[in-house]
């Protein structure tokens, strides 16, 4: 890739900046509202063991494959596959379709988080007047039924994404994440320590961490359901199978040690997911609220904790801090998804000999996404639209894309391509190359086939 194309597409300025951006992409709403509840309901410590095994045997390997694919070709998801193997050229389109579909509802959720963050700022200065005489569930219901409010905050969230992404890889995405992700981690650690001081908080930790291996033989749950839940959470949490790590990898220099980053990113993501659980679950148990997952946890249960459980200025301040960290997690993930789509269009422009127009491309694409998000916002996150997107993308498309990539590396182009790419970093080589080869050829495909079949069965498609 020529230096001119490097500049046109973008390139990471520092190793730390890349790591923060990659971790920021991985750390999203799934870490905050999905992981803790799924862990607690699926065997606690037993689920964590399965999750870590899936991360090591599948997540780390796919992470390495995607980063190597991006760095070797210097291209986004679609053209990276086209450059490496003509037989698998079409797989890259799954990596662009997934983030586009996800953004249709993820941006709506980001706007909702922004609304709650602003509401708690108002509460700090109004003595909680904006939350007076209304229950958390009713407050949430009024908001999602207000089409104008939903669209307003969706638009604001979209504009913030546009500003960062159109500024480029170094000046936009990297600069934002270099400050946002450390801030998120500091706030999360502080909140976890604070929440643990509440009476009854330890019950939340028991819910999350107490091993219950009986779930593996439970007819209602069973080992394969735990495996499917862990794998599904891993894909969405680590930004795998959606073109993000391929795209981010395409901006890497040869000095970046892929054999190290393949472990650091999943490790950091898992630590943050566990820390998030140490905030939300103890908070719910301390104030007598039933544990939940999804939007009801984020916008009802935790809102109730801050407004009714804690109350006063302290409740409003802690509520603001919490939704601020959720906002940082949401926007760092959404900008990475938008960047995948933008990079695809920039690659097309470069291939056709045109000057890449990042700003125009970002604005036009975001405008299209805003229109696509209309039904989700006006439907108040109704199950028809949002549920369909969730099924088609993280449920099927992401593991399918990763399965096909593992077949490509394992049986078509060979894992030597990855080993050679790792070795381009001075003084580095891929350790346990035989194990990586075994994972791509056998372990990853077998696990992903099981996961895909379980997902299709859950959706009533088989």
DSSP secondary structure of 2-32: -HHHHHHH---S-HHHHHHHHHHHHSSHIII
Just give the CATH number of 3-458: 1.10.4160.10
pTM of the model: 0.93
Identify the H or E element spanning 252.
none
Residues 6+ apart with CB under 8 A from 11: 169, 170, 251, 252, 253
Of 115, 153, 139, 109, the residue nearest 308 (C-alpha): 139
Q: Helices marked H in 250-311 — which ranges?
A: 258-286, 295-296, 302-304
Domain ranges of the chain: 3-458
Comparing C-alpha atoms, which of 440, 395, 447 is closest to residue 413? 440
Give the count of beta carbons closer than 10 Å to the beta carbon of residue 425.
18
Spatial contact of 120 and 323, defined as CB atoms under 8 Å apart: yes
The predicted-structure confidence for 80-90, as pLDDT tens digits, reads as follows 999 999 889 89
Residues 395 and 459 sit within 8 Å (Cβ to Cβ): yes
Paired tokens of 105? 């509802």
The string of pLDDT tens digits covering residues 353-400 is 888 899 999 999 999 999 999 888 887 665 555 555 554 555 788 889
Q: Which residues contact 350 (CB under 8 A, 6 or more apart)?
A: 5, 8, 9, 356
Q: What is the pLDDT along the chain (462 residues), one digit of tens a residue?
A: 444 444 457 899 999 999 999 999 999 888 888 888 888 888 888 889 999 999 999 999 999 999 999 999 999 999 999 999 988 989 999 999 999 999 988 999 999 999 999 999 999 988 877 787 788 889 999 998 888 999 999 999 999 999 999 999 999 999 999 999 999 999 999 999 999 999 999 998 988 888 888 888 888 888 888 888 888 888 878 888 899 999 999 999 999 999 999 999 999 999 999 999 899 889 888 888 877 667 788 898 889 999 988 888 888 999 999 999 999 999 999 999 999 999 999 999 998 888 889 999 999 999 999 999 988 888 766 555 555 555 455 578 888 999 999 999 999 999 999 999 999 999 899 988 999 999 999 999 998 998 888 877 776 667
* pLDDT tens per residue across span 189-214: 999 999 999 999 999 898 888 888 88
User: Contact, 433 vs 419, CB < 8 A?
Assistant: yes
User: What is d(CA 245, CA 65) in angstroms, rounded to the nearest whole number?
Assistant: 9
What burial class does residue 453 get, using C-beta atoms within 10 Å of its C-beta: 0-12 exposed, 13-18 middle, 19+ buried?
A: middle
Residue 74 host element (H or E): none
Residues 71, 90: Cα–Cα separation, whole Å: 19
């Amino acid at each position: 890739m020529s230096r001119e194309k490097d500049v046109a597409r973008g390139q990471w300025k520092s190793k730390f900046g890349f790591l923060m951006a990659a971790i920021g992409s991985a750390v999203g709403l799934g870490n905050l509202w999905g992981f803790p509840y799924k862990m607690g309901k699926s065997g606690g410590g037993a689920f964590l063991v399965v999750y870590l095994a899936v991360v090591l045997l599948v997540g780390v390997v796919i992470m390495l494959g995607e980063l190597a694919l991006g760095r070797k070709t210097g291209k986004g998801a679609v053209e990276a596959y086209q450059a490496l193997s003509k037989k698998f050229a079409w797989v890259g389109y799954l990596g662009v379709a997934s983030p586009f579909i996800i953004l249709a509802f993820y941006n709506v959720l980001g706007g909702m988080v922004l609304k709650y963050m602003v509401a708690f700022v108002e509460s700090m200065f109004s003595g909680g007047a904006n939350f007076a005489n209304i229950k958390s569930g009713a407050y949430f219901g009024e908001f999602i039924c207000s089409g104008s409010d939903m669209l307003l905050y969706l638009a604001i969230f979209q504009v913030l994404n546009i500003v960062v992404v159109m500024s480029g890889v170094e000046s936009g995405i990297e600069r934002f994440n270099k400050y946002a992700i450390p801030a998120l981690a500091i706030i999360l650690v502080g909140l976890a320590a604070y929440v643990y001081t509440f009476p009854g908080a330890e019950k939340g930790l028991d819910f999350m961490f107490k091993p219950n291996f009986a779930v593996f033989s439970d007819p209602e749950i069973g080992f394969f359901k735990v495996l499917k839940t862990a794998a599904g959470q891993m894909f969405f949490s680590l930004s795998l199978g959606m073109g993000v790590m391929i795209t981010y990898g395409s901006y890497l220099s040869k000095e970046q040690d892929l054999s190290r980053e393949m472990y650091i990113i999943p490790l950091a993501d898992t630590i943050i997911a566990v820390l998030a659980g140490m905030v939300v679950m103890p908070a719910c148990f301390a104030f007598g609220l039933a544990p939940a997952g999804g939007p009801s946890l984020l916008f009802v249960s935790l809102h109730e904790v801050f407004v009714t459980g804690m109350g006063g200025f302290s409740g409003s301040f802690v509520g603001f801090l919490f939704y601020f960290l959720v906002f940082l997690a949401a926007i760092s993930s959404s900008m990475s998804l938008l960047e995948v789509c933008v990079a695809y269009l920039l690659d097309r422009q470069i291939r056709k000999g045109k000057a890449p127009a990042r700003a125009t491309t970002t604005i036009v694409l975001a405008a299209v996404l805003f229109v696509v998000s209309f039904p989700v916002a006006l439907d108040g996150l109704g199950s028809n639209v949002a549920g369909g997107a969730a099924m088609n993308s993280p449920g099927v498309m992401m593991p399918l894309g990763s399965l096909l990539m593992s077949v490509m590396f394992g049986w078509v182009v060979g894992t030597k391509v990855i080993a050679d790419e790792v070795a381009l970093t001075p003084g580095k080589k891929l350790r346990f190359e035989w194990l990586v080869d075994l994972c791509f050829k056998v372990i990853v495909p077998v696990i992903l086939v099981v996961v895909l079949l379980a997902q299709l069965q859950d959706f009533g498609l088989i």
